[in-house]
A and B are shown apart, each in its own frame.
Chain A
Amino acid sequence: MDSLHAIGFYVSAALSVAGGLSVAFLADRSRRGLALAVVAIGVAGIYLSLSAGFAAIVALVCYGGCAVLLAGSAYRAVEPATGGRWRQLGAIAAAALMATLAYAAYRGDFNRATYFGGTIGSAALGRRLLAHDALATEAVAALILVALAGATLAWRARDRTR
């Protein structure tokens, strides 16, 4: 990997992690959505520097869509389900998860393979998604259908009780 790709990777990684932490601490809904959009840009940059151009485009669209959904006017607040002690325990568990995953990543330095280089690769990836692994794509499509139908039913039920 050349220096330009490496700089792009580290800048994108810093963007995405900083955006992710901002999502946790920002109070305003629209600013949280903006931080999630920064995460989307950062993740797309990471994928792009890893020579996964098609995945970068899809990630930019999907995570950007998540940011729009969470910052949009359709969003409603839900009552808190846990107290302060459970939140602190959750934060400690997240730190422990980070330590565990970081240790696992540190132990992953046995891999010494070199990359072949490459471009966006949409044709090869499309062949894998629609031919080689079509069952997985169909399963994800069914999951999306169920999720969107569930969201639609939820909104219809909410409008009916108005």
Chain B
Amino acid sequence: MNVTLVSVLFVAAALVAAGAFVASWRRDLGHGLAGIPLMFAGAGTAFAGVSRFAAVPAGGAQLLGQEVAVLLSVVALAAVALGVGLAGREGPR
């Protein structure tokens, strides 16, 4: 059993597609917000995977993908917080 870049990218594709499916399938707009962190998680997985399997530079580790994965996680949280705030404003009380 081994993990390659292809298997990581397959998982990332599944997460992005699951997020797009959640965003389109849920009837309520607020429920569709749950698709945002899924899609960001898929993108972050792809970045972390490429960082993991990329050729190692002479100076040391290749960390750009991990860095982008961290930033994507934080951005997903901010986007969901904004979406929940707007849904709380527009939705029924």
What 0/1 pattern do residues 14 to 32 of B give for CB contact below 8 A with A?
Answer: 1111111111111111110
Q: Which residues does chain A contribute within 8 Å of B18, judged by CB atoms?
A: 17, 20-21, 23-24, 94
CB proximity of B77 to chain A, nearest CB, Å: 4
Nearest Cβ on chain A to B4's Cβ, whole angstroms: 7
A54 and B85 in contact, given A43-B45, A78-B90, A106-B6 (Cβ under 8 angstroms): no
Which residues of chain A from 7 to 51 have a CB within 8 Å of any chain B CB?
7, 9-10, 13, 16-17, 20-21, 23-24, 32, 36, 39, 43, 46-47, 49-51
Given contacts A125-B67, A125-B70, A144-B75, contact A75 B84 (CB under 8 A): yes
A118–B22 alpha-carbon span in the complex (Å) = 35
Interface residues on A, range: 35 or more
The interface residues of chain B, by DSSP majority, are classed as helix
Given contacts A75-B87, A128-B64, contact A105 B13 (CB under 8 A): yes
A93-B24 contact, Cβ under 8 Å, with A62-B77, A105-B6, A113-B56? yes
Find out whether the CB atom of B70 lies under 8 angstroms from the CB atom of A93: no
A136 to B55, CA, bound (A): 23
Contact of A36 among B8, B9, B10, B37 (CB under 8 A): B37
Across the interface, do A16 and B41 meet the contact criterion of CB distance under 8 Å? yes
**Among all A-B residue pairs, the 5 with the closest Cβ atoms:** A90-B24, A151-B85, A76-B91, A101-B13, A105-B9
Known: A17-B14, A66-B34; 9 extra A-B contacts, CB below 8 A, are A23-B18, A32-B34, A39-B37, A63-B41, A94-B21, A98-B13, A105-B13, A115-B52, A136-B67
11 A-B residue pairs with Cβ-Cβ distance under 8 Å, sorted by A, are: A6-B2, A43-B45, A70-B84, A77-B31, A87-B25, A94-B18, A105-B6, A105-B10, A108-B6, A108-B9, A158-B93
